[in-house]
Structure 1
């Protein structure tokens, strides 16, 4: 059968419509796909480590430096510009003195001057300490007492006074001939004015009681005390002398190396 012109045009249009979806389908299957990039490394089944990843922008916390231990000059300077406890004759009730540039004066007009300290390690802690002399002048009379100042590595102060003196020199009394540092303490060379025995000797002649002893500074119940280690274990501060020395034995008993009840008994 022969088709007319209108039928031929309709048939051609139908072929065109059918062909378009085929071309679109073909283009969708054969078009270029994006490159997925390199394959991931590592085991995708591995469990997370549980540790947070380091933050490259984080900064370490600043550390506080350890305080520097004082030098002998630091301890000397501190002692020359601070409060002292002073005991007349080394055995009386202490009074407070305020020193400035190594000098002080008490309410009674007596003056005080600090001398150069002897460097050592009195308590064996590895920090420098000083045994420092201070001289009191009262008219024509004078006395010199030696106090230990312990160096401190921390806190607000550079040194701490041991309030019990370890040696003395008096106008007409005991004389400290030499004070030298030893391992964990000091050696003190005295000439003592002996009661009764030396009563007839003039002040210029001095006493007859020769004594060399060694002391250390011990912490007992949170406080510092001088303790004698040689020639025998005993109290290391200044001792009141007997006024009798008549040869009578003292009553039997025991003493302590320092006031606290927990101190070593001797």
Structure 2
């Protein structure tokens, strides 16, 4: 019994040290904001998870079709207690550690939008939270219901026609997805779409982030955040020369390719309103 207790205490201490290390390294490298992919389970529980389903050895669990009690018991990340965070747990951690948040909404859900807006109002999170989405309808609805909220549109020029490196659709339907990408590209490049939606910033893929678009957007009061970077040169260019904030999914990758000097400079340019 005593050896098991000692092991339990040891594991808890290691977990706490890991959390402190992540926080310290993130702060040292200019990361003061955490992006969360926010989803809703079948029974209305809000969770933080990037993929829309969970694959185990025995089954695949679609988040929107699975109850929270099932999801909470899955050992997703391996090891002990590799469970999924509830949304409220993640937000509480960020508030306690003075981290800003980007709530990304991969799917449209009226109930989810209502919950997030109420959460922001009740906890006075306007200075700490921005909401991003791929869906124009989500951005439009959020803007109509709340003029104070920071809203960003995530876009990529081949978002519809290419999925996981392969063409979307068949030889008979591929044209439709290409046409959707063309509409998106020219709508964003002309600034008609972001201006109509009333978004505060564009979350732009590095492949589409040319200097002209960034400067034209800034002149219209629309800021730019860069994502999907793959090389050191890209990160250095946008952080040092363009002085733009970046979203990186892998913290280890960020620490391995961004120097502390450039990251700390990037951090100092941010205000509490993600400016």
TM range (shorter): under 0.3
Higher helix share: 2
The structure whose residues are more often strand, as a share, is: 1
**TM-score of the superposed pair, with normalisation by structure 1:** 0.22
